[in-house]
Structure 1
């Protein structure tokens, strides 16, 4: 839906840039995942990913699926919840885990 409450075509999401709520570029929408029974969007498939953000996690030709519940706002760009913070926390946890010998 748009800001005035009018419905929006799902295909209008494709091609939009996605940013974290802190302004970090995440990627670009390539596709959407739908629940046809409920007729709702359940996820957005991102490509053209921020290489720095996803380094070591996703290959150059791969993408990621972001749950639609993480989407905060849809306008000229799409804002998602703390994705950057989640990735950084995961990275910090993996680097601070003691190694077993």
Structure 2
């Protein structure tokens, strides 16, 4: 029986580091958000956040919840889409000019 077909407890996700698909550290899993009616994970509650990715308001909070649909792979670490990185990319000069116009 291969490893993927063996049922694992969801608590094995707690404590795993989360990285974007570009290799940037996002945070660490502290807890899970579950939909008990559908028997599925809907989100990962992260703490120990990468301060470069999140604004000051988020940093003063206990953590963030990342939608589980962002998860691309689960292994020794968890890989998620780079959505968080894209949310905080600096605006280009063209964007700034358009806003000022």
**TM over 0.5, shorter chain:** yes
| TM-score category (smaller protein) | 0.7 to 0.9
RMSD (Å) for aligned C-alpha atoms: 2.4
Q: 1:84 to 1:7 in 2, by over 3 A?
A: same
1:10-60 residue CA offsets vs partner (Å, 9 max, x unmatched): 111100000000000000000000000011000000000001111334124
Q: State TM-score, norm by structure 2.
A: 0.81
CA radius of gyration, larger in:
2
Structure 2: state its 5+ residue gaps. Answer: none
Correspondence for 1:23: 23
> What is the rounded CA distance, in whole Å, between the counterparts of 1:57 and 1:98 in structure 2?
24
Q: State TM-score, norm by structure 1.
A: 0.81
- Aligned pairs, number: 97
